[in-house]
Amino acid sequence: MSSFARRRAAGRDARAQLPRSAHADAPPAAGRHDPVALLEEQAATRVPDLVPVRHARMSVSPFTFYRGAALLMAADLARLPHSGITVQLCGDAHLTNFGMFGTPERRLVFDINDFDETLPGPFEWDVKRLAASFAVAGRHRGFSEDETRAAVTASVRGYREAMRAAAAATVLDAWYDHRDAGQVRRWLRDERRAGRAGSRELDRLDAAIAKARSRDRMKAFGKLVRLVDGRLRIVADPPLLVPVEDLTGGADETELMRRLLDEYRVTLPHLRHPLSEYTYRHMAHKVVGVGSVGTRAWVILLSGRDDRDPLLLQAKQAQASVLERFLGPSEYPSHGERVVRGQRLMQTASDIFLGWQQVTSFDGVKRDFYVRQLHDWKGGLDPEVMTPRGAALYAKICGETLARAHARSGDRVQIAGYLGAGTVFDDAVTAFAEAYADQNAQDYRAFTDAIASGRLAVSERA
């Protein structure tokens, strides 16, 4: 028996540990955590003044709540049996963490774009997080049960079929497989010709591609930076954007930043890197995302040849993954390195400025950060305007994308052997996702009740 045949057989044998149909099981109600208490515990390590902003963003709907509730779902998944087949997990593979971005070769690709929670773990945890996000989103958009189920199933089927294709491919074809924006557009055009997509879906994709290409460093520079007394400065917009001098009492941070940038540069993938030609100019604290609100994030302004040659970097705090309390600690000494190593492994291509550093902040506390460009052709499809048919098409692409990431980081042949050619796994995870959407709705009600009672604070400016 060849090594590939043995790997496939090992996947089939893993069904004895956890049958595929068992993925339909929801976490038992008995002994479940208090969702509000878990969120309060998570808030303890975040900037206190920004925690109410996070609560406000999560309180908008069950869908925005789900985006910030990765810890709650990890705690639930940890109470279920698992397949024992390990990959590098994204850790928060909900549908808004997929999108388009520019590669170093200046191609626009579709891939996963958030790795704050990345850690090795059971492959199905990511699949269930993705599938449940479509179940929650479908309800949020007012889709029928059948329309929502179609999108959920499309995400799982897309994953299974792409993983089986990767297992059958040559080694390098599986490794290099990717989807750029042009390929996605051609596929969607073919779907329209076959009657499975309409002009609306293609038009929205074209709009998303155009918007992503426009979101480059110069647009971000024009939006965030002004010339003040002859010096480039990031403009204040508190509490969402606060210049560093407003946080440090006017202390000059220039020398500290030079040293930190030198330390960060050694983590970059090239010895002769463009960063060496840039000069530090200014920085500001920025509130980002939904789940990440309250962690520290900085926008760092650099200039190259002159003031018309800017670069904006984002240094984002990396805390312990929400998965670590259930799967064990990361092997890396820095959580910034954990994020970067996971991203480089799972993505088709990564930002050339992606690196990490440990920083002793102005309050004297050492924290981990990862660094990347603030905007580099980044964009995605807006779930708030998705049609049922568009959601199913998007779900398929997300499932395929997750499979490619897992195929690079885990044993694609073993996973394909476990999944099989039938729909048993698809049907089971779809049932799980629907049940978990019910659980998310209950947790959202508990969360909003805690806000109404005054237990949790919210900010009027989110």
Closest-CA residue to 341 (of 313, 321, 367)? 321
Q: Note the pLDDT of residue 249.
A: 64
Residue 389's CB is within 10 A of a number of other CB atoms, namely 17
How far apart CA 329 and CA 206 sit, in angstroms, is: 42
**Residue 11, pLDDT above cutoff 60:** yes
Segment 232-265, tens digit of pLDDT: 999 998 888 889 888 876 666 677 777 788 889 9
Strand pairing of 279-286 and 297-303? antiparallel
How far apart CA 134 and CA 434 sit, in angstroms, is: 9
CA distances for 403 relative to 109, 181, 237, 323, angstroms: 15, 18, 40, 20
Question: Residues of the chain with pLDDT > 70: what percent?
Answer: 96
Q: Note the pLDDT of residue 462.
A: 57
- In the numeric block, which tokens belong to residue 265? 């540069």
Contacts of 25 (CB under 8 A, 6+ apart): 80, 432
Percentages (nearest 5) of helix, strand, coil residues in the chain: 55, 15, 30
- Per-residue confidence at 294, pLDDT binned at 50, 70, 90? low
Q: Note the pLDDT of residue 363.
A: 65
**Residue 202, pLDDT above cutoff 60:** yes
- In the numeric block, which tokens belong to residue 167? 């297992």
How far apart CA 222 and CA 240 sit, in angstroms, is: 17
Q: Note the pLDDT of residue 105.
A: 73
412 and 166 Cβ atoms separated by less than 8 Å: yes
Q: Note the pLDDT of residue 323.
A: 97
Higher-pLDDT residue of 230, 295: 230
Report CA Rg, the chain: 22
Which residue in the block uniquely carries the two structure tokens 């073919």? Answer: 190
β-bridge mates for residue 315, sequence order: 298, 371
218 and 205 Cβ atoms separated by less than 8 Å: no
In Å, how far from its chain's centre is CA 182? 22
User: Which range has the worst mean pLDDT, 26-35, 46-55, 116-125, 335-344?
Assistant: 46-55
Kindly state the helix (H) or strand (E) to which residue 131 belongs, with its residue range: helix 123-141
**Residue 292, pLDDT above cutoff 80:** no
Most confident of 45-49, 71-75, 455-459: 71-75
Q: Note the pLDDT of residue 251.
A: 61
Three-class HEC string of 257-309:
HHHHHHHHHCCCCCCCCHHHHCEEEEEEEECCCCCCECECEEEEEEECCCCCC
Q: Reduce the DSSP state of residue 358 to 3 states and report it.
A: strand
Q: Note the pLDDT of residue 362.
A: 61
409 and 348 Cβ atoms separated by less than 8 Å: no
Q: Average pLDDT over the chain, rounded to whole?
A: 90
**How large is the average pLDDT for residues 93-116?**
87
**Residue 291, pLDDT above cutoff 60:** no
How far apart CA 383 and CA 171 sit, in angstroms, is: 35
- In the numeric block, which tokens belong to residue 1? 């028996």
User: Which range has the worst mean pLDDT, 33-42, 90-99, 279-288, 445-454?
Assistant: 279-288
Q: Note the pLDDT of residue 210.
A: 78
- Per-residue confidence at 383, pLDDT binned at 50, 70, 90? confident
- What is the DSSP track for 31-54? T---HHHHHHHHHTTS-GGGHHHH
Single pTM value for the model: 0.92
Higher-pLDDT residue of 221, 93: 93
441 and 132 Cβ atoms separated by less than 8 Å: no
Q: Determine the residue type at 28.
A: P
Residue 207's CB is within 10 A of a number of other CB atoms, namely 13
**Residue 126, pLDDT above cutoff 90:** yes
Closest-CA residue to 375 (of 307, 305, 310)? 310
Three-class HEC string of 235-262:
CCECCCEEEHHHHHCCCCCHHHHHHHHH
**Residue 361, pLDDT above cutoff 70:** no
Q: Note the pLDDT of residue 199.
A: 76
Question: Residues of the chain with pLDDT > 90: what percent?
Answer: 62
**How large is the average pLDDT for residues 287-299?**
69
Q: Reduce the DSSP state of residue 371 to 3 states and report it.
A: strand
**How large is the average pLDDT for residues 103-113?**
83
Segment 305-332, tens digit of pLDDT: 999 999 999 999 899 999 999 999 999 9
**Residue 290, pLDDT above cutoff 70:** no
**Residue 104, pLDDT above cutoff 60:** yes
Higher-pLDDT residue of 214, 149: 149
How far apart CA 267 and CA 263 sit, in angstroms, is: 8
How far apart CA 17 and CA 85 sit, in angstroms, is: 10
Higher-pLDDT residue of 88, 190: 88
Q: Note the pLDDT of residue 354.
A: 94
Q: Reduce the DSSP state of residue 369 to 3 states and report it.
A: strand
**How large is the average pLDDT for residues 371-392?**
84
Q: Note the pLDDT of residue 115.
A: 95
In Å, how far from its chain's centre is CA 317? 15
